[in-house]
Amino acid sequence: MTAISSLISKIQQGDFHALARAISIVENERSGSDELLQSIQLRKIPVIGITGPPGAGKSSLLNDLIALLVKKKMKIGVITVDPTSPFNFGSLLGDRIRMKEHYNDPNVFIRSLATRGSLGGLSDKIIEVTDVMKAGPFDYLFVETVGVGQSEVEIAGLADTTIIVFVPQAGDEVQTMKAGLMEIADIFVVNKSDHPDSEQFAKSLTVLAASKVSSSTDRNAWQIPVVKTIATNGQGVDELLSHIEKHQDSGIRNERQVYLLTEKVWRLIVKERMKDVDRKKLQIEIRAALQQGNFNAFRFAKNHA
């Protein structure tokens, strides 16, 4: 048994230390990364994406969901994607700060990833990390993304169920984002629903959700529910979990996943074909070609392809 196969076996048995090591290997492309990713057997684990604008209370809501599921004797995996430090490219926030009450729970594994400049609210290694975690004995995987607004749509390709969290003050934002929201949302959440404007805001979201169903030609189209929550005291979290379970049981497939995986595979193929290209050597050749005059970048690239 190789070191990597031994590591995978430990992950399957629920060894969180082995899982943490495996994630570090693939995230940092260390030796054994390719073997690990090609060898793991993925379990069918629901991936729940939680996204929304900054300050909406995504982390607090996720805390409540984790607590509820742990009470049901479930094992939970969590990936939180945070902004990147411009100095060391590490995560600016962190799982210890945001979910400290679950950090030492033997049934909860939490990992923070940095975006490292990736657009769309996700880390460029999110698919690899998610696949590694799918080898573990989890009942649910949650992915909480940075709140970056309209560009945060990649999560819809990764998650089986996508939850968008809002606060009532975001009324104008819904109007500017509604086209994109209708494309990626499976469940709307109005958090901090004790706010005076929460009822009207929830009604506006309900109208948006109903408009999607009425314009659909699919008679079995999913009706996006609007759930009102107060994450600080756990209100509405039971209802939210119920809608997550209903969406999972609906059998609706995430067709957006094909587009995300196509983009990922395309990048992997490009990277594999480019592995023999020496950038420093290329720089020397380009400098020499420039000195000869009549340099054409497109012709030069064609000759080196």
Tens of pLDDT, residue by residue over 118-165, are 444 466 788 889 999 999 999 999 999 866 544 456 777 889 999 999
Of 231, 229, 224, nearest to 205 (Cα)?
224
For residues 298 and 305, give the distance between their C-alpha atoms in angstroms, rounded to a whole number: 11
Which residues lie closer than 8 Å to 224 by C-beta, 6 or more apart?
185, 186, 187, 188, 209, 212, 213
Label the pairing between strands 187-190 and 140-144.
Answer: unpaired
For residues 240 and 66, give the distance between their C-alpha atoms in angstroms, rounded to a whole number: 12
Compute the C-alpha angle 107/110/111, nearest 5°.
150
So what's the pLDDT on residue 138?
97
For residues 12 and 235, give the distance between their C-alpha atoms in angstroms, rounded to a whole number: 35
Of 279, 38, 56, nearest to 135 (Cα)?
38
Of 74, 54, 57, 58, nearest to 66 (Cα)?
74
So what's the pLDDT on residue 220?
62
Label the pairing between strands 140-144 and 161-166.
Answer: unpaired
Residues of the chain short of pLDDT 70, as ranges, are 1, 83-100, 115-123, 146-153, 169-182, 212-220
Starting at the edge strand that comes first in sequence, how are the strands of the sheet with 226-228 ordered? 108-114, 76-82, 140-144, 47-51, 161-166, 187-190, 226-228
So what's the pLDDT on residue 163?
93
Domain 42-254 belongs in CATH node 2.40.30.10? no
- The boundaries of every CATH 3.40.50.300 domain in the chain are 42-254
State pLDDT tens for residues 93-128: 444 455 667 778 899 999 988 765 444 446 678 888
pTM: 0.83
So what's the pLDDT on residue 122?
63
So what's the pLDDT on residue 276?
84
